[in-house]
């Protein structure tokens, strides 16, 4: 391992191990400063994830003794959003699926948000940003906008000029605050030095507030509890008879992605439960595909992945970044392992080596320790790593992934259904359930 990689990996490992200490220090600072439990929420009008999150904010504010601050913002663009058009399209698709499972009304009055009044709505919100009624107004606006409720939106913007520069100034100010605190995305909550994105991570904040004794009444709020229950994957006890006719399940992943590592074992279990033919398609890390990943984004992903790993019981300890040669060697060996029918064991072992054992797979010693563990013949592994045929296949995988409407990993495709994210395993299971017409063997 070269010196630069060694220093970077050690710094990441120290940061990930110090999470609980940082939380305790932040709580101590709050007490010493005599501050309330300040919860800052960043929402964006154009972001459907912000709308879904906003539906649960009243329950959060009602049930916990917190001091909320709701900020209207816009997510940071540029290198933080490498393919904004694809993201906007996929976000609506994803939120439509989420809303259906959560029982939230989403684009039920129209096929699209009321974009023709977007500027006027922002002007309305900016004009009321300092009022006591701002939070209630913002929630009303988001609801009308993302239900496609033209009538309600028209009433909200009646007599309002959409050309005010006040809205742009407000969005810019709050975006700077977002970046200063350490994030880049909307639909985020900041509390005590930690970030919580969307409805997917809200349960972490709920658990943290409960642990601090901040519930106003005993027990978990009904809406918040239902959100947690909805996102639990239910797998069949036996393979459904109708699942035998389902198409292959495809997973696009990167050996550098901690989320891919977190997803692998669970997706294999899901495929086994439904009797599906799972096909893995490795791609190069984003930075090796010409897509920049800013430091702020990397730090959030690593911290969030560690938090998810702890919840899922996936071992994450010492990290050794495989970017560059390490990732390339892993893809080359993957295709050799595939020919030997050892791809499952190799992918899981490589992930554990990279994210838990701190093994440098860019070195022969590191890669050999992985391949020998899963029974691959080292001389043939060396030959596989010297063969560049995998590059064309990896490029084809990237093109397939992009054509499916996503560019990040892990992503999943079965038939026409496409999902992105390791935390979509439960939704993937629901989609597969829907494909099994008779529901034979399925838990609901």
380-391: average pLDDT: 98
| 12: pLDDT strictly greater than 80 | no
Distance of CA 1 to the CA centre of its chain: 30
| CA–CA gap between residue 201 and residue 411 (Å, rounded) | 19
Q: What is the DSSP letter of 421?
A: S
Instruction: Please report which confidence band the pLDDT of residue 361 belongs to, taking 50, 70 and 90 as the band edges.
Output: very high
Q: What confidence score (pLDDT) does residue 103 get?
A: 97
Q: Which of 75-89, 132-146, 379-393 has the weakest average pLDDT?
A: 75-89
| CA–CA gap between residue 139 and residue 133 (Å, rounded) | 10
Q: Do domains 24-230 and 241-435 have the same CATH topology?
A: yes
The residues spanned by each domain of the chain are 24-230, 241-435
Instruction: Please report which confidence band the pLDDT of residue 162 belongs to, taking 50, 70 and 90 as the band edges.
Output: confident
pTM assigned to the model? 0.94
* φ, ψ of residue 337 in degrees (nearest 5): -60, -35
37-44: average pLDDT: 98
Cis previous bond, 337, omega within 30: no
| CA–CA gap between residue 338 and residue 346 (Å, rounded) | 9
Tokens found for residue 227: 């959100």
| 431: pLDDT strictly greater than 60 | yes
Nearest residue to 436 (alpha-carbon basis) of 270, 247, 242: 242
Q: What confidence score (pLDDT) does residue 7 get?
A: 55
The CATH class of 24-230 is alpha beta
Quote the mean pLDDT of the chain. 94
Quote the strand ranges of 341-427, DSSP E.
Answer: 411-414, 417-420
241-435 adopts what CATH topology?
Glutaredoxin (3.40.30)
């Amino acid at each position: 391992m070269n010196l630069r990689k060694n220093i970077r990996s050690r710094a990441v490992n120290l940061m990930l191990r110090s999470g609980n200490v940082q939380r305790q220090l932040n709580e101590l600072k709050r007490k010493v400063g005599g501050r309330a439990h300040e919860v800052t929420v960043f929402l964006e009008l154009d972001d459907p994830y912000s709308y879904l999150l906003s539906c649960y904010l009243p329950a959060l504010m009602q049930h916990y003794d917190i001091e909320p601050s709701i900020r209207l913002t816009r997510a940071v663009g540029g290198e933080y959003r490498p393919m904004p058009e694809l993201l906007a399209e996929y976000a609506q698709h994803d939120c439509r699926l989420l809303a259906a499972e959560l029982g939230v009304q989403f684009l039920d009055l129209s096929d699209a948000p009321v974009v023709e009044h977007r500027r006027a709505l922002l002007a309305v919100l900016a004009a009321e940003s300092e009022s006591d009624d701002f939070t209630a107004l913002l929630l009303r606006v988001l609801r009308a906008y993302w239900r496609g409720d033209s009538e309600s939106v028209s009433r909200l913007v009646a007599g309002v000029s959409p050309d005010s520069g006040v809205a742009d100034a407000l969005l810019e100010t709050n975006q700077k605050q977002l970046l200063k605190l350490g994030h880049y995305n909307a639909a985020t909550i900041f509390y005590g030095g930690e970030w919580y994105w969307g409805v997917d991570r809200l349960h972490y904040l709920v658990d943290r507030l409960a642990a601090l004794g901040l519930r106003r009444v005993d027990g978990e709020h009904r809406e918040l509890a239902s959100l947690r229950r909805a996102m639990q994957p239910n797998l069949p006890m036996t393979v459904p008879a109708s699942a035998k006719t389902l198409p292959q399940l495809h997973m696009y992943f990167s050996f550098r992605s901690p989320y891919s590592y977190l997803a692998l074992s669970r997706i294999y279990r899901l495929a086994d439960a439904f009797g599906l033919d799972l096909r893995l398609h490795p791609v190069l890390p984003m930075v090796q595909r010409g897509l920049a990943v800013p430091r702020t984004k990397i730090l959030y992903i690593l911290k969030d992945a560690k938090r998810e790993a702890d919840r899922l019981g996936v071992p994450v300890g010492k990290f050794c970044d495989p970017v560059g040669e390490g990732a390339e060697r892993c893809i080359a060996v993957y295709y050799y392992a595939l020919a030997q029918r050892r791809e499952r064991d190799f992918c899981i072992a490589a992930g554990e080596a990279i994210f838990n054992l701190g093994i440098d797979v860019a070195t022969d010693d590191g890669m050999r320790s992985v391949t020998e563990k899963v029974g691959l013949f080292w001389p043939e592994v060396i030959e596989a790593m010297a063969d560049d045929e995998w590059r064309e296949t990896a490029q084809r995988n990237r093109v397939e992934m992009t054509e499916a409407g996503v560019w990040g990993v892990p992503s999943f495709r079965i038939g026409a259904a496409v999902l992105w994210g390791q935390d979509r395993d439960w939704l993937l299971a629901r989609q597969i359930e829907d494909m099994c017409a008779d529901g034979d063997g399925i838990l609901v």
